[in-house]
A and B are shown apart, each in its own frame.
Chain A
Amino acid sequence: MNHFENIKENDFRSELLTETSNPRKKPNGRIRKMVRSLHRDIGYFCIGMTIVFAVSGLAVNHIDDWNPNYEVTRQSKAISISSELKQSEQLNSILLEQLGLDLKVRAEFWESENRFKLFAEADITVEVDFKNQIAVIESISQRPILSAFNRLHLNEVNRAWVIFSDLFAILLLFLAFSSFFMLKGKNGVFSLKGLWVVAGVIVPAVFIAI
């Protein structure tokens, strides 16, 4: 079987065959091959960053619907604290005992005569409403992977990261522009396939216009 017969004219492999059979390669072909190799390798390099930005982008886009960084649980419990106990130095320990919590207190704050907050270890806050004899235990836990992605996405890490993400942006620009020189012929960007590029420009343009 002749393998050459299976490779059609517009298949990119035809170019490779031409290169093999003809030692004097055209300069355009060499550049196209180089661009394709760079596009491939830079594309591989950008996978990690793309995942970080894409996942975090989805999470942060919907910030009004959920908290992408923290999981917050709130639980209400009835308490029984008299006016005398409210003034007591034992208030914190009595409160924690009534709520069944065994935690070290970080700080406390009187919001008003009847509203008191206790900040405990393990990111637990107890909000006490003495008037209605109710305590709300709020527990905060960080979403491990997602909050790290969000910190990176929102440039909260350090200056070096800003430089690296600038580099990532430049690499994305390279990936975009190099795609013009990946293929030629009926699948090239200067064929009907170029309409995809036009569509990709029109979509954001429409959103700006409306």
Chain B
Amino acid sequence: MKKFLGFILLTFFSTSIWAVENRSFGEGAKMDKLIAISKVLASPQKYLGKEITVVGTIVSVCSKRGCWMKLASDKKFQTLRIKVRDGDMVFPFNAKGQTAYATGQLKPIELTKEKAIAYLAHLAEEAKEEFDPTSVTGAMTIYQLSPTGVTIKYSGS
């Protein structure tokens, strides 16, 4: 009986719950709609309201709720944030460095001048760089992807 119980527990904890493989969230990503992040961010207005798929290395993930992750662009120093409503998808915190495909719609976030200063100051603080608030001259718009499907391709532990 003890052996049987042990086997059941071993099977339970070693199968779907722990499996490290390609993981899909929501509907999974649609690979036929792939567009480079640099292209999207170069002319975001062109992609608003359209379903697109982006790909990139996961460079950071929300550590608590897994409600967002940042994908590295094909262009140096550039990232795109993938954001879901809390609980809709939970991106694994230990997926950093893996490649993710995300399908969804690009959403603009309008920032007033004050909010833009706060946002850029926060980014500078994160990057431990100096920030000059006077460099912000007016309101700005940032973009993030609201996904319906995400696929993470694991390249090994």
Contact = CB atoms under 8 A, between A and B. Distances in A.
Contacts of B96: 119, 123, 125, 140
Interface residues of A, number: 37
Given A63-B65, A131-B128, A154-B87, A111 B94 contact: no
Q: Which of A107, A114, A125 has the most CB of B within 10 A?
A: A107
Contacts of A111: 59, 77, 127
A123 B94 contact: yes
A120 B57 CA distance: 13
A110 B73 CA distance: 10
10 contacts: A63-B65, A69-B93, A111-B59, A112-B77, A114-B129, A117-B59, A121-B157, A123-B94, A132-B128, A156-B90
Interface of B is mostly: loop
Contact of B128 (A64, A69, A129): A129
B98 interface: yes
Interface of A: 63-64, 67, 69-70, 72, 104, 106-107, 109-115, 117, 119-123, 125, 129, 131-132, 140, 142, 144-145, 148, 151-152, 154, 156-158
Interface of B: 13, 16-18, 57, 59, 63-65, 72, 76-77, 87, 90, 93-94, 96-99, 127-129, 155-157
Given A112-B77, A131-B128, 5 more contacts: A70-B63, A111-B127, A119-B59, A122-B157, A123-B157
A161 to B, nearest CB: 9
A119 B97 contact: yes
Contacts of A152: 17
A119 B96 CA distance: 7
Contact of B93 (A115, A140, A144): A140
B76 to A, nearest CB: 6
9 A-B pairs with least C-beta separation: A119-B97, A106-B97, A123-B94, A107-B57, A107-B97, A140-B94, A109-B59, A148-B17, A109-B72
A68 to B, nearest CB: 9
Given A63-B65, A110-B76, A148-B13, A115 B127 contact: yes
A119 B127 contact: no
Contacts of A121: 156-157
Nearest to B18: A148
Given A115-B128, A148-B17, A154-B87, A64 B94 contact: no
B64 A157 contact: no
A154 B65 CA distance: 11
A114 B76 CA distance: 12
Nearest to A70: B93
Contact of B63 (A72, A106, A144, A148): A72
B127 to A, nearest CB: 5
Given A115-B127, A119-B57, A110 B17 contact: no
Contacts of A117: 59
B16 A64 contact: no
Nearest to A148: B17
Nearest to A115: B127
A112 B59 CA distance: 13
A147 to B, nearest CB: 8
Given A106-B155, A111-B59, A154-B87, A120 B97 contact: yes
B128 A157 contact: no
A132 B130 CA distance: 13
